[in-house]
Amino acid sequence: MALKLPIYMDHNATTPMDPRVLEAMLPYFTEKFGNSASRNHEFGWEAEDGVKLARKQVGGLIGADPKEIIWTSGSTESNNLAIKGVADMYKDKGRHIITAIHEHKATLDPCKRLAKMGYDVTWLEPAADGIVTAKQVAEAIREDTILVTIMWANNELGTINELPAIGKVCKEKGVLLHTDATQAVGKIPVDVNAAGVDLLSGSAHKIYGPKGAGFLYVRRRKPRVRLTPIIDGGGHERGMRSGTLNVTGIVGLGKACELCRLEMDEETARLSKLRDKLDQGILSQLEHAVINGKADQRLPQTTNISFPYVEGESMMMAIKEIAVSSGSACTSASLEPSYVLKALGLGDEIAHSSIRFGLGRFTTEEEVDFTIDKVVTAVKKLLELSPLYEMVLEGIDINAIEWGAH
């Protein structure tokens, strides 16, 4: 079979829908089109049944009770509801929040908004390996801390933070823990109880489901978490998120979660093997290439590689048959180097020359071979054209150069 171009290697940004998810959704567009809040007739009941099943499927994937699942439009909304909802509900108890500087913008921006409103936010900085540790969290917690929000796995690096150890610290100190688990759910085992998590955000489109559907897990027991809603009107979703439910999207999200639960072990084994092949194929042929973040504590399908002395934009052009990303999709409209990589202490040049590869359910070995070949050829060619690399070969320390102003 001929290789179909372009090749998709950007599964951390979004995933193609699994045909089995689409199949589960289709009847809810046309035949079972009822409003799940219409309690007086069969059309509404049918829709509600679909929603109920999805709650079970999502709960089953993360070890939660179905009643603890609140439907949202995706992780950005879930993060906003969790962070702002807790901040407002518990403001009399304290106004201190802890997060990290290399979180997704959907966590950073709500925290910045709260800081403007007079909340005190502590921004933890990861070590060079990109990991946020339980020790860092423990040292930052104060009497007036009401929320810790730390992502489970990083979207750019694939690095996995120290959950459940962070959960243990929060439990001991009686502080609520929210985790943006958008990249972790469905890819690695996630259990809200074992990890001591009180609120967890997830999204359908990262796990082969539809865009525009997500969820927020909100703990109901020990402790019972309460949130001030962002959207009022009708009191849907235990009063936390009003609005007619996106039944088709929710059904798809549920099915996507069920498939992840059933196929995760097999998929993890296959994808980590392919990812390791990609890493080794590139690193063995390019002596300066380096993996960003802690290599043995990453998601099975993600790798982020820096190609020193090569300019990121020209690199993207040189491998345009492969869809990859430099930086995060949500902020890639700017040419700024990735703030996540800068948080690891990487200089602008290295941060600029980094590429994230995200493999997925439908990625083939053939595609990985093509990618290795393409990337290695492109980098070698660009290095030949690089004046910086020429200096390095001549033994000049380019960090010591003082560039004169033109």
Give mean pLDDT, residues 80-97. 98
Task: Determine the Cα angle at 301 with ends 259 and 268, to 5°.
Answer: 50
Lowest mean pLDDT among 122-131, 156-165, 329-338: 329-338
Give mean pLDDT, residues 325-343. 69
Give mean pLDDT, residues 383-403. 80
What per-residue string of b and e applies to 257-287 under the rule 16 or more CB within 10 Å gives b?
bbbbbeebeebbebbeebbebbbebbbeebe
Q: What is the predicted pLDDT for the residue at 331? A: 46
pLDDT in tens, 102-114: 999 999 999 999 9
Q: What is the predicted pLDDT for the residue at 200? A: 98
Q: E-assigned strands of 294-346?
A: 302-306, 322-323
In the chain, what percentage of residues exceed pLDDT 70?
A: 96
For the chain, list the domains and their CATH numbers.
7-13+263-393 (3.90.1150.10), 19-259 (3.40.640.10)
Identity of residue 359? L
Query: Is 76 a residue whose pLDDT tops 60?
Result: yes
Rounded mean pLDDT of the chain?
Answer: 94
The pLDDT-based confidence of 329 (bands split at 50, 70, 90) is very low
Closest CA to 247 of 21, 28, 10, 17: 28
Identity of residue 93? K
Q: What is the predicted pLDDT for the residue at 9? A: 97
Measure the CA–CA gap between 323 and 358, rounded to whole angstroms: 9
Query: Is 330 a residue whose pLDDT tops 50?
Result: no
- Which residues are annotated as catalytic? 330
Query: Is 332 a residue whose pLDDT tops 50?
Result: no
Evaluate whether 94 touches 231 at the Cβ level (below 8 Å). no
What per-residue string of b and e applies to 319-357 under the rule 16 or more CB within 10 Å gives b?
beebbbbbbbeeeeeeeebbbbbbbbebeebbbbbbbbb
